Amino acid sequence: MTRFPRLVLFDLDGTLLDSAPDMLAAINALRGERGEAPGTLDALRPHVSKGARAMIASAFPLLDADAREALVRPFLDAYEREIGLHGRPFDGIEEMLAALEADGARWGIVTNKPEYLARQVLPAFGWDARSAILVGGDTLAERKPHPLPLLHSAQALGVEPAQCAYVGDDERDIMAARAAGMPSVVALWGYRLDEDDPVAWQGDVMADTPHGLTDPLAWPRR
C-alpha cells in the first residue's frame, strides 16, 4: 500500500520541465530569419503552457492570424532541434519523483504537446525508462481540457481515477482532472499569465514548489 496516490499524472511543460529556454531558442530562430531582435525569456515564459500558437502570437504580435498559423510548423521544427538543450526539470522535481518511486507509486505524463515531440524530451532526463505512460496532445481523439487523456491513462494502468492525482500549471489541466473525477494539484511554480487566477481554478491542492510534494500528506485524496 502506497502512502502517495497510486498513480500520479503530470503535465510536462511548466510542471515537470522548465522548457521555456528551449522554446525561446526556437522562437528566436524564427525571429532571426525575419531580421528581428531576439525575444526574452521573461516575455515568453508566461505563454509556454498555452501552446505553440500562444507563444507565436506573443512573439509576433504584428502578424495576422493566417501569418501566425503559417509559423506553427516552422516553430515546431525549430523546437525539435532545440529539445533538451536548454531546459531542465524544475528544482525539486527529481526529488519528488524519487519519493514517489521509493514508495511504490507510479507516475506518467499527460501533455498537450504533440506526442512525437514529448517522446524526444524524456530521454534527456532518463524519464523514458521511468514514466509509466505518456499521452500527447495528438495521441487520442481529444486533448485537455477534455478528460479523455486522463481517463485513458488511468484505465491503461488499471487505476481508478479517484485513486490518481493530476498535477498541472494551467487551468486546462485542472478542468480535465475535475471532469475525469481525478484529484488535482495546481503547480504554482509553473507558467502563468498575469491575469490568470489559479485560486479560481478550484484545484484540490495548490503547491508552491515540487519540494512540498515529497510529503505524502501534501497530496489530495478522495
Q: Give catalytic residue positions.
A: 11
**103 annotated to bind ligand:** no
The reply to whether 13 sits in an annotated binding site is: yes
Where do we find the cell 485537455?
144
Whether 11 has a binding-site annotation, put simply, is yes
Three-class secondary structure assignment of the chain: CCCCCCEEEECCECCCEECHHHHHHHHHHHHHHCCCCCCCHHHHHHHHHHCHHHHHHHHCCCCCHHHHHHCHHHHHHHHHHHCCCCCEECCCHHHHHHHHHHCCCEEEEECCCCHHHHHHHHHHHCHHHCCCCEECCCCCCCCCCCCHHHHHHHHHCCCCHHHEEEEECCHHHHHHHHHHCCCEEEECCCCCCCCCCHHHHCCCEEECCHHHHHCHHHCCCC
Cβ neighbors of 33 (< 8 A, separation 6 or more) are none
List binding-site positions for Mg(2+): 11, 13, 169
